[in-house]
Structure 1
C-alpha cells in the first residue's frame, strides 16, 4: 500500500513539473505569435522616414524573432510529447486527465503583458537614427537610388541624369559655352523639358524660326527658356504691328536671340531712337533694323559715340552718315579705334575724298591690314589710282571685296606669288 502511494506521489510531482514548463512555453508561444502579427502590421502599415531606418528596423525585428521561431518548434514538439504522454499513461484516472488539461490553460490574461512588450519594441525602433553607426553588412544591404552629383564645375556630369540637358545636346546646344556663364547651369538643371523647353521651341517654330536655328538661339540666349509664353507672344505681336513682316520677324529672332527678352516698351524706345537720331523714315528704320536686328538688343552708348565720331572727327555730313549707315549698318557698332584708323588711312594716305568714301562705304568695314597691303602693292606697281575721272581708275569696292587671286589678275595685273612675296617684305 505504501509503495503504491509513493509511486502515485512521484507521478503527481512529475505532472506538476510538466504543467509549469508547459505554461511557460504557452506564454512564450503566445508572445511570439502576437509579436509576429504586430511586426507584419508595422511593416505594412507604418512608414519610417528614410530607407536606412526601415532597413534597420527590419533587421532588428528579424534578430528579435529568430528565437521565437526556434521556441515555437520546441513548444510544438513538447506539446506533442505531452499529448502522447497523456494518452499512453493509462494509469491516470479520467479526473486526473481533466485536471491536467485544465491546468494548461492560463489563469491570467497575458494580453496586457504582450502589448507592453510590443510598445517597448516600437519605442526602441523609433529611437534609431539615420546618423547611427551601422555594421558593414547592414551598409552593403542598403540600396541607394542614383542621383545627380551634388556639385560639379561642368554640365557634362549631369547630362546622363537630366532629360533637359540630354535633349539640348541632341538639338546641338553648346553646353560648354553655357557653363562659362554664371548661374546658367543651375537654371538649366531646374528646367523640365516637357513643361519649360518644349513649349518655347514650339513657339519659335510657329513664328517661322527654322529648326536649325534653335541651337544657336539657346546657346546665345538660354534665358529665353525662362520667359513666359505670353510675353514672347506680346513682343512678336508688337513687331508685326510696326509692319515688320512675319518672315522678317522670324529672321530677326534667328539672328538676334535676345530680341524677345526685351519688353515691348524697350523695343519701342529703340525704334524711336534710331528714327530720331538718324532722321530716317519709318520704312528706312524698319529696313535698317531688319538688316541688323542686334541694334535693338545692344547698348546705345557705342551707337551714339560712333555717330558723334562720324560727324565731328571724320567730318561727314548728316546725309552722308545716313547713306553710310543704310548701306553698312555695322558702322554703328564698329570699334571706334578701328573706324578712325581705317578712315585716316583712306583719307590721308590714299587721298580718297569724303564723297567717294560715302559712295563706297564698304571700305569702312574692311580689315585695316587688308586695305593697307593692297594699296601699298598697287602703289609699288604704280597703279594706285582711285579718282574716277583719271585713267586706270580702281574702284574702292573692288579693291576690298575681291579675293587675292582676282585682285592680282584684274586690278594689279601681277602674279599671285609676287603679291605674297611683297606681303612678307612690308
Structure 2
C-alpha cells in the first residue's frame, strides 16, 4: 500500500520539483497578473474603447496571445509524459501513469478565454486609434487636423483666418476694429454664415442699386442689417418708392444712411409726417430735405425739436426764416446747439449782420467758427469788413465762408496769402 502510494505521488513530486514546472508557474503568475491588469474598467470616447487611458497596439496583443498558448502547450506536454525517478526507481509504463491534472492549467485556459472574449473588441477598437502605430507618409498627409479657434478673445483679428464670414467681410472693406468695440457685435458676426446670412443681404443691396464699393461702409456702420428679414427690407424700399422716391434716390439714401432700412414702415412714415408738419412744408420739399440728409429719418427727434426751439426763441428767427434756413441747410436741424449759438452770436453781434441776411445766406451757420473769425478779423484789419448789400465794397457771407484761402485773399481781401498767414500768427 505504501509502495503504491509512493508510485502515485511520484508524478506529483516530480511535477513540483522539476525545472519545467518552475517556468510553468512563472507563466501562470504572468497570466494572473495580466488578468488583474486587464480587468480595469474601460472608458468610452467617441465610440472607441480605451484601456487605462492609453491605446493597446496590435503587436502587444499578438505577443501576449503567443505567450499564453506556449504556456498552455508546455503544461499539457509535460503532464502527458511519463515520469522517471532519478534515484533508481523503475520507470512507470504509460498505462500505469495516473493522469494528473494540474489545477493551474484550467485556471490559465479559463483566464485566457475570459480575457480574450472581454478584450477582443477592446483591443481591435483601441488599435485602430493607436498613437504608436507606424503609418506611411501618404496617410500622414491625409490626416486632417482641425484648426484651433480661440475660445475667447478681445479682438476679431484672432478669428479672421478660421471664419469665412469675417474673411469675406474684410475683403469687402469692413472695419472689424470698429465693430469689435461695440458690445455683442463680434459674437453676432461669428455666428453668421456667409452663404446663408450675409450673401443674400448683399445681393439685395446690389439689386436696389447700392454700389459694391459702399458695402464695407454700410456694414461697418450698421452690421445689424445682416440679420434683418429680407421681406421686411423689401417692404421698406417699396414704401419709399410709394412716396415718390426714385430708385436712384433710395440707393443713395441707403448708402449715406446705413440704418435707414432697419426702421419699420410705420416709423419712416411718422418721421416724414413730422418734418412736413413742423416745418409746414409741401411733400416735394420734405422729400428734398430728406434726400439731402437721409439721417433725419434715422436719428432721434429730440435734438431736432430742440434746435427748432433754439432758432425760434434764443436766436430770434421767424417761422418763414427758419423754413428758409432748413430748406437751404438741412444740417441746421442736427447741428450741435453750442456751435449753432456760438456762430450766430459772432455773426449777429460782432459782425453786425441782421437776421434777414443770415436767413438769406444760412450757409454761415454751418461753417467753421475759427475760419469765420480769422477771415472777419483780417478784413476788419484791412478795413474791408462790409457786409451790407446796400453799401459799396459789399462782401457776401456765402463767399466769405465758402471760398478757399487763396481765392479769399485775392478776390475779397485784395491781399496775398502770405499776408493772411502772417496775420493768423498774431491771433
TM bucket (normalised to shorter chain) is: 0.7 to 0.9
Query: What is the root-mean-square deviation of aligned Cα atoms in Å?
Result: 4.6
> For residues 255 and 200 of structure 1, what CA distance do their matches in structure 2 show?
17
Q: Is the 8 A contact 1:25 1:75 kept in 2?
A: no
Q: Does 1:69 align with 2:75?
A: no
> For residues 195 and 92 of structure 1, what CA distance do their matches in structure 2 show?
91
Superposed CA deviations along residues 100-145 of structure 1, whole A, max 9, x for unmatched, are 9xxxx989x95997289729x98xx9xxxxxxxxxxx9xxxxx984
Residue of structure 2 equivalent to 1:334: 335
Q: Is the 8 A contact 1:347 1:354 kept in 2?
A: yes
Q: Is the 8 A contact 2:178 2:220 kept in 1?
A: yes
Residue of structure 1 equivalent to 2:198: 197
Structure-2 change in CA distance of 1:93 and 1:65 (3 Å): farther
* TM-score, normalised relative to structure 1: 0.75
> For residues 215 and 384 of structure 1, what CA distance do their matches in structure 2 show?
46
Q: Is the 8 A contact 2:386 2:395 kept in 1?
A: yes
Structure-2 change in CA distance of 1:311 and 1:50 (3 Å): farther
> For residues 168 and 191 of structure 1, what CA distance do their matches in structure 2 show?
11
Residue of structure 1 equivalent to 2:118: 118
> For residues 290 and 61 of structure 2, what CA distance do their matches in structure 1 show?
86
Q: Matched residue of 1:347: which SS?
A: helix
Q: Is the 8 A contact 1:164 1:192 kept in 2?
A: yes
Structure-2 change in CA distance of 1:250 and 1:57 (3 Å): farther
Q: CA deviation at 1:185?
A: 1.3
Q: Is the 8 A contact 2:358 2:364 kept in 1?
A: yes
Structure-2 change in CA distance of 1:181 and 1:114 (3 Å): same
Range that drifts further, 333-342 or 291-300: 333-342
> For residues 410 and 92 of structure 1, what CA distance do their matches in structure 2 show?
142
Q: CA deviation at 1:171?
A: 1.3
Written as runs of structure 1 = structure 2, the 5 A alignment for 1:76-225 is 79=73, 114=114, 118=118, 145-225=146-226
Written as runs of structure 1 = structure 2, the 5 A alignment for 1:27-426 is 48-49=45-46, 59=54, 62=56, 66=60, 69-73=63-67, 75=69, 79=73, 114=114, 118=118, 145-426=146-427
> For residues 11 and 106 of structure 2, what CA distance do their matches in structure 1 show?
22
| Unmatched segments (≥5 aa) in structure 2 | 1-5, 82-90, 126-131, 133-143
Q: Matched residue of 1:62: which SS?
A: coil
Superposed CA deviations along residues 360-384 of structure 1, whole A, max 9, x for unmatched, are 1111100111111111111111111
Superposed CA deviations along residues 158-216 of structure 1, whole A, max 9, x for unmatched, are 22222221111111111111111111112112212222111111111111111111111
Structure-2 change in CA distance of 1:375 and 1:76 (3 Å): same
Superposed CA deviations along residues 202-236 of structure 1, whole A, max 9, x for unmatched, are 11111111111111111111111121212211211
> For residues 298 and 401 of structure 1, what CA distance do their matches in structure 2 show?
28
> For residues 70 and 116 of structure 1, what CA distance do their matches in structure 2 show?
10
Superposed CA deviations along residues 266-307 of structure 1, whole A, max 9, x for unmatched, are 111101100110111111111110100000011101111111
